[in-house]
Amino acid sequence: MLNNARTHAAVVGRNDIVTSPVVTVPNKFVPAGDLFYDVNVQDAKIINLLASYGTLSVTHQFAPSAKRRRGFFC
């Protein structure tokens, strides 16, 4: 998943997604709700996409107390 400015990406392993529960999240376009994987934020790694070519820059890993965040469509 990319941020709005497309400067950073959140990367989550497939095992973290597969083991996450599916939740319904209503919104203004789909009042009945869209289905999302409720992935634990701790499992995401934030990658700086503007880092030098050939280097992987993990800019942030979430603290163990971080809340869960929905953000991956089913």
Encode pLDDT of 19-74 as tens digits: 999 999 998 888 898 999 998 888 889 899 888 665 555 655 555 444 555 555 54
Contacts for 16 with CB less than 8 Å, ≥ 6 apart = 39, 40, 43
Q: CA–CA separation, 33 vs 25, rounded Å?
A: 5
User: How, if at all, do strands 58-61 and 72-73 pair?
Assistant: unpaired
Among candidate residues 40, 37, 35, 45, the one with its CA nearest the CA of residue 67: 40
